[in-house]
Structure 1
Amino acid sequence: MKQEKKHSNVLLKPLINIVIGADSMKIDTKELQNNWKHYTLTNDSGMEVSFLNYGGIITNIMVPDKNGLVENVVLGYKDYNDYRTNPNFFGAIIGRVAGRIQDSSFELNGETYSLTPNEGKNHLHGGQNGFHQVIWNATPFQTASSIGVKLKHESPDGEGGYPGELVVTVTYELTNDNQLIISYEGTTTKTTALTLTNHSYFNLSGNLQNTIHNHHVTMDSHRFIELDQSLIPTGQLLDVTDTPFDFVSGRNLTDGIESTFKQNKIAGNGYDHYFLFDQQKKENVVVKEANSGRVLTVETDQPGMVMYTSNGLDDNLALAEGPSKPYLGICFETQSSPASLHHEGFPSVVLLPNEKYESRTVFSFGVDSYI
């Protein structure tokens, strides 16, 4: 079936346009102003993944629905200049530590490190000058069955308050099986805190036609981290049984969005919680959207993830397909838990100088005509 494409993300006219690869599988590079570059990976099936070297921000993911119609399934700004501040972290690489660090401080080896607060008294997603706001060095590559770009950043010792000179590499790789593979590597000169993720907001309806209320999520998790009123982990793991947090057999997101369950209310009527994976299934998360038939599968070697249902998304942002509003996207932030900096029993975010940080998450896109 011939695939029809509906592109909607508008970028500034490129200064230079470079194409690497064959007509089907290719890497298109647009050189923009201020040393920004916009890359588009296209596989043999016509799936596309577009992103900036600024913040490693994924701006578009174009995939077909059950009828072959190719549409965008992530949130992105209409004007790429809006990514300069990007308070919602659309599509960005998050670091050094993804998530919230209580009181913007932590202790390692008997020494206390103070970070810059950017959400009340707490530190969120690496702070105001986190990895989402740096220009990454980019190197395109191509294999027999995939194409991609390797992004590299060197963070100096003490940047943002974090110890250690850190060298980080994040690779975006698109395969001919419609898989987006995100791989992370990092080394440090001092004991430090590090857990990286990508903050894309997914909406499988295509071009933001509907909210995510009826996205059906199945998750390999029986436990999640309890939050206080400031969305800071209390140190308690809660069982999902008989709660709207039980996705083991699958449920629609609307169950939690419309729930009166305390933890859903604390998150602003939805989810913004760390789920600990049971590690019993290869597929950690499966998401289905009935109207489009699109299916997203998440597989990762990380111990868990934060699932965020865009409860606090403003309704006045100019996105590629129209104005933003709450519940327009869902994030699957695969990572370790920053709660481990203040509480025992959680997946550690500590990286030692003699260690190598390595992580891999695979987002696979498909269709199911019988949803």
Structure 2
Amino acid sequence: MSWWDDVDGDDSDADEPYGQYDESSVRVRPNPKGNRPRTKTRPTYDDAPVGWVTNVDRGRFGVLVGTGSGSDSEHVITATKARELGKKSVVTGDHVSLVGDVSGDPGSLARIVKVAERTTLLRRSADDSDEVERVIVANADQMLIVVAAADPEPRTRLIDRYLVAAFDAGLDPILCITKTDLADPAPFLAHFACLSLRIVTSRSDDVPFEALHDLLDDKVTVTVGHSGVGKSTLVNALTGSTRAIGVVNSVTGRGRHTSSSSIALRVRDGGWIIDTPGVRSFGLGHVDPANVFRAFASHAIPVRPARDGIPLAQAHDWEIVDRVQDGELGATGVERLDSFRALLTGMGASDPGLE
């Protein structure tokens, strides 16, 4: 008889070392995360409250919620990004779905659980050789390019970059010349005479409210511009904001950054302006060179997906290539074409041949 056999001949397992631990007597440990099996089905959040991101600040998002423009229920709440979004970015202008406390009461915090498909996306990179993009604004309708006639001196090549970025993003560009009391803007505007641009001029002591409202009302407009050109002054006048206003260094001639992040502000009487930080460079490394070429092409090209067969936006008829070759644009046209080729070279792309 082996040592594990029943030593007293009965059927009891009391004297058997391991008999008392048969499967029927093992205590089953409960699932520490609950008894229900984990499912791969995730919530769709179709019924979640929706909002519009108005600003981003160190991992916290201001989100406009409520229905109806200017209604009593409309208010801005604070939200954070939910873990399930992973590395997906949330930027000013995004339409989002929310869970949690959307009351906007002090100390309340909601979570952004879903980002709606974007219609437009303004991006820039550190330089033309860097393909890593930085998303600036989503879902804007147009771009207001602010440039000073003087102090600081205007830079035509920087404006070219803004125009290419606007085209790539699907935004309709507007050129606003400030500080026209300090210098005649005509020589600068001559560089863009061959382009079908909407142009507004502004003095240091006078904002053309009527002209700007005609362009901005009922639109979401993102502003861009070199530091110190008067962009914040313009935005403050149009929105009633008190954003800091910078000055231009008298030695370097450069402006000081006064805006550190993008923020959406309601335009008086309608529309929204998204004010972005001033920049001294605007990299296009993320842009397809073909889009640069189309931005200077001779025919207008739809730049947003069609909805119900109707293009949502259409690029200007730049007409640059054909008109330069025909000699119609003279020295100005040649300069525009040189700028185009310089952009392609900086991006490491080859000249596609403008025969």
Same fold (TM over 0.5): no
Q: What range describes the TM-score normalised by the shorter chain of this pair?
A: under 0.3
Normalising to structure 1: TM-score of the pair? 0.27
Which structure has more strand as a fraction of its residues? 1
Higher relative contact order (CA 8 A, sep 6+): 1
Instruction: Specify which structure has the higher proportion of helix.
Output: 2
